[in-house]
Amino acid sequence: MDKNMFASDNYSGICPDAWQALQTANGGYSTSYGDDPWTAKACDALRDFFETDCQVFFVFNGTAANSLALASLCRSYHSIICHGTAHVETDECGAVEFFSNGTKVLLVSGEDGKIDPDEVTHTVERRSDIHYPKPKVLSITQATELGTLYSVDEMKAVGELARRHQLKLHVDGARFANALATLQVPAAQLTWKAGVDVLTFGGTKNGMPVGEAVVFFDKTLAEEFDYRCKQAGQLASKMRYLAAPWVGMLEQGALLKNAAHANKCAKLLAEKLLTVPQIRLVHPVQANAVFVQMPEALIDALHAGGWHFYTFIGSGHARFMCSWQTCEEEILRFGAELTKVAAELQMG
């Protein structure tokens, strides 16, 4: 058994539908730099998926998708409001500030990785003078870095909050498919119908080899975005290989199926973890992540047994991730080993 499987959803491989689409796209010659039939088809498939005439770009990774999307919404003297645990703040090495030529990121807190609306209001209203970086964008993550979700109503409220303060609304959707799979609503309802201007839609963690889509619902904001991508080294010459997996996974339904599977596995994994009384859930399991508090001795014993999982993410608890590739049998075997290790430590 591979004891790396819960460390991250990007430890997973390429899912069969994405792989098949790549193989089909690999037949012969094709035009380059996005001027190919696969890219056109992927954009159309995403427009169908969101039921609107959005503008779509494909880039190599989430850091580029987020930081270029955010840079296109701001000028250098503006500010972006996000949660303190947001990937753009904690895991992108300052890419947002870099690509926006210095736009300041202002942090707010809130339960379970979700922004507290009152804090956003306070951040916008506490100053209006020329010495303060002008708030311009609200950036949220769906599903959050802590494996939680903004419900449809919460999304609507976030949209209204942004509108009230004249902020553009960006969603980091590295795990947007996981949110859709749990909430079971049309993608439109969680995005443009709720006031989202730009979504960075993750493919990699959900079974693609590489690549994220940047989806502009307000097309005026996409002006010259292609130049931004090129300058940042994010314009793939063989774009068909970034686009084809989207076609395959949207046409065959794997996009939501993979996410639903990962979410279901996370529920089962949480159940197994919680059989040890000393383990406590720290956030509700609403997507494909399980965050638990567990005794140091147990963490050390599992790590010593070769189990790989991180303890530095979010509030520093143990994080277990599931993906399209996680196997229920493997969760059961992990559960059995956990029981054994806990018993050896005289827990449970």
Ligand X SMILES: *Cc1c(COP(=O)(O)O)cnc(C)c1O
For the bound state, the minimum distance from the C-beta of residue 204 to ligand X, rounded and expressed in Å, comes to 6
Q: What are phi and psi of 202, to 5 degrees?
A: -80, 135
Return d(Cα 270, Cα 281) in angstroms, integer.
Answer: 8
Does 148 participate in binding ligand X (rule CB under 6 A)? no
Residue (199 or 279) nearer to ligand X, CB:
199
DSSP for 156-182, please give it: HHHHHHHHHTT-EEEEEETTHHHHHHH
CB count within 10 Å of CB 34 equals 22
For the bound state, the minimum distance from the C-beta of residue 73 to ligand X, rounded and expressed in Å, comes to 17
For the bound state, the minimum distance from the C-beta of residue 146 to ligand X, rounded and expressed in Å, comes to 10
Site map 47..86 versus ligand X, x via CB under 6 A: --------------xxx--x--------------------
Residue (174 or 292) nearer to ligand X, CB:
174
- Which residues between 83 and 102 bind ligand X (CB under 6 A)? 87
5 neighbors 330 (Cβ within 8 angstroms):
yes
Residues 6+ away with beta carbon under 8 Å from 325 = 5, 12, 13, 15, 207
For the bound state, the minimum distance from the C-beta of residue 348 to ligand X, rounded and expressed in Å, comes to 32
Return d(Cα 41, Cα 50) in angstroms, integer.
Answer: 14
Does 141 participate in binding ligand X (rule CB under 6 A)? yes
Residue (145 or 197) nearer to ligand X, CB:
145
Q: According to CB under 6 A, which one of 172, 216, 249, 319 is a site residue for ligand X? A: 172
In terms of Cβ atoms closer than 10 Å to its own Cβ (0-12, 13-18, 19+), residue 209 is: middle
Does 278 participate in binding ligand X (rule CB under 6 A)? no
For the bound state, the minimum distance from the C-beta of residue 160 to ligand X, rounded and expressed in Å, comes to 23
Does 174 participate in binding ligand X (rule CB under 6 A)? yes
Return d(Cα 94, Cα 258) in angstroms, integer.
Answer: 31
List interacting residues with ligand X (CB under 6 A): 61-63, 66, 87, 141, 145, 172, 174, 204-205
